[in-house]
Amino acid sequence: MKLIKYPSRTEWAEILKRPSLDTENLFDTVRSIIDRVKDEGDRAVKEYEAVFDKVELSNIVVTEEEWTEGIANVGEELKAAITLAKKNIETFHAAQRFTGQKVETMPGVTCWQKAVAIEKVGLYIPGGTAPLFSTVLMLAVPAKIAGCQEVVLCTPPGKNGKVHPAVLFAAQLAGVDRIFKVGGVQAIAAMAYGTESVPKVYKIFGPGNQYVTAAKQLVSLRDVAIDMPAGPSEVEVLADASANPVFVAADLLSQAEHGVDSQAMLVTTSEDLLLEVVEEVERQLIELPRWEIAAKSLSNSKLILVRDMKEALELTNEYAPEHLIVETESHTEVAERVVNAGSVFLGSYSPESAGDYASGTNHTLPTNGYAKAYSGVSLDSFIRKITFQEILPEGIAAIGPSIEIMAANEQLDAHKNAVSVRLEKIDNKKLK
């Protein structure tokens, strides 16, 4: 971890950089994989699974037998925990249902919106060093609430050629229709263009490493929608002298163990807290089974001491963290001044882990500063809003002349005429 004390604003841009790869070389590699999957379908997918996931597959589809066998291997305690989480996620997202209303903008002119589910969605669940069955719930539960007709899921298999049992259980519980043993760029390409086995979808959801993020960005240029360009995970803890250094260290490490390219940040107004957190991180780190991953991740992490809470908030809003934990004495007041963040956790007893798993909020969030422009996944992510309008004769009579003037001044005479012929019809009826 890098300790930084009282940085000047001219240093902020450098300090707040995320770990990254050479984008140009990354896109070239990713594009070549996408093109092969697009052209060769299942054959290319299986070859890339052998190369990247080190598994030879005769069939990339998870069969009913595999699904049943896997679920049988999930312990009752874990099933109960996943079920509780699913219930809370369902409760939170169901409350987001859109209720449109008809608005009469002027007499005879009525406008409204209707929410319609995206019919076919693809969910990407990373594999890597840990099975992210929680992400299955975060994506599939709102998809089913929205009313998506086809929900397919791609996830890399283990070395045994099978999907992790907990992923299968979560998928069944949340209502996923079909699962495919495909990971990485090849999974994104398969869902974007379709293969002999994997259906083409209309929108792709899910986090992943920087290769997956690049793949999602490339296919979204003209072929399929995506939730957001979410990359390696990150957390910032914003704390003052009242924060518990044990809690802060635990929060930083919980993020660091995600992967070697994750980033954990502490922004604090207290030098004493900063030094205590350093000691506590070192103490807790050696107790973690994934300490090697966390240790590498911590090389990307920074502990930043600032002069006051105003500066801390300005730095935070510039960083725009995926997760923001506010452990300050007046956390409610501080939170009101947060404008750029994916998900915010308030107070000493609101760890990021709660949102990652079971409180009900969604953990698929914008990273890499995209929180300045993107929201996290919600029920709205799985629907489209279609606008409707109905204009009666009295309505077109009232707004028609204004439309004619505007169309004429934009030199779009056909637009003007579409109104004029109707106004003439109304005038003729009046004369009769």
Residue 207, pLDDT > 90, answer no
Tell whether 415 is in a known binding site.
Answer: yes
Please state whether beta strands 109-117 and 383-391 pair in parallel, antiparallel, or not at all (unpaired). Answer: antiparallel
Tell whether 150 is in a known binding site.
Answer: no
pLDDT interval class at 299 (50, 70, 90): confident
Tell whether 333 is in a known binding site.
Answer: no
Report pLDDT for 233.
85
For residues 110-118, give the mean pLDDT. 97
Residue type, 294: A
For residues 395-399, give the mean pLDDT. 97
The token pair that represents 172 in the structure block: 């069944």
Tell whether 233 is in a known binding site.
Answer: yes
Within 13 Å and on the Cβ side, how many CA atoms surround 414?
A: 0
Active site residues: 322-323
pLDDT interval class at 98 (50, 70, 90): very high
For residues 107-113, give the mean pLDDT. 97
Tell whether 323 is in a known binding site.
Answer: yes
Report pLDDT for 432.
64
Report pLDDT for 96.
97
For residues 229-247, give the mean pLDDT. 91
pLDDT interval class at 131 (50, 70, 90): confident
pLDDT interval class at 24 (50, 70, 90): low
Report pLDDT for 21.
59
How confident is the model over 58-79, as pLDDT tens digits?
Answer: 999 999 999 999 999 999 999 9
Cβ(366)–Cβ(344) below 8 Å: no
Tell whether 284 is in a known binding site.
Answer: no
Show the beta-strand stretches assigned E in 375-423: 383-391
Distance CA 331, CA 347 (A): 6
How confident is the model over 152-193, as pLDDT tens digits?
Answer: 999 999 999 999 999 999 999 999 999 999 999 999 999 999
| Residue 119, φ and ψ in degrees, nearest 5 | -70, -45
Average pLDDT of the chain is 94
Report pLDDT for 232.
77
Tell whether 186 is in a known binding site.
Answer: yes
Report pLDDT for 153.
98
Report pLDDT for 430.
76
Distance CA 53, CA 20 (A): 22
Report pLDDT for 177.
98
Residue 297, pLDDT > 90, answer no
For residues 402-418, give the mean pLDDT. 98
Cβ(214)–Cβ(224) below 8 Å: no
Please state the pTM of the whole predicted model: 0.92
Cβ(209)–Cβ(259) below 8 Å: yes
Distance CA 335, CA 138 (A): 24
Residue 313, pLDDT > 70, answer yes
Cβ(154)–Cβ(182) below 8 Å: yes
How confident is the model over 330-360, as pLDDT tens digits?
Answer: 999 999 999 999 999 999 999 999 999 999 9
Report pLDDT for 23.
61
Q: Which residues pair with 103 in a beta bridge?
A: 111
| Secondary structure (DSSP) of 113-179 | EEEEE-SEEEEE---TTS--HHHHHHHHHHHHHHT-SEEEEEE---TTS---HHHHHHHHHHT--EE
H-helix or E-strand spanning residue 265: strand 263-268
| Secondary structure (DSSP) of 63-100 | PHHHHHHHHHTS-HHHHHHHHHHHHHHHHHHHTT----
3-state secondary structure of 235: strand
pLDDT interval class at 213 (50, 70, 90): confident
Cβ(358)–Cβ(84) below 8 Å: yes
Q: What dihedral angle (degrees, nearest 10) is formed by the CA atoms of 23, 29, 34, 36?
A: 170
For residues 257-270, give the mean pLDDT. 90
Distance CA 167, CA 153 (A): 10
Let me know the angle formed at the C-alpha of 422 by 418 and 427, rounded to the nearest 5 degrees.
145
Maximal C-alpha separation, the chain: 92
Q: Among 294-303, 355-364, 385-394, name the one with the lowest average pLDDT.
A: 294-303
Tell whether 349 is in a known binding site.
Answer: no
Higher confidence at residue 293 or residue 172? 172
Residue 281, pLDDT > 90, answer yes
Distances (CA, A) of 70 to 66, 83, 132, 171: 6, 17, 15, 11
The token pair that represents 201 in the structure block: 């979808």
Report pLDDT for 22.
61
Residue type, 246: V
Q: Put the strands of the sheet holding 120-124 in their side by side order.
A: 178-181, 150-155, 120-124, 203-205, 225-226
Distance CA 219, CA 203 (A): 10
Residue 428, pLDDT > 90, answer no
In order of start, what are the domains of the chain with their CATH numbers?
2-19+232-360 (3.40.50.1980), 23-104+117-228 (3.40.50.1980), 392-431 (no CATH)
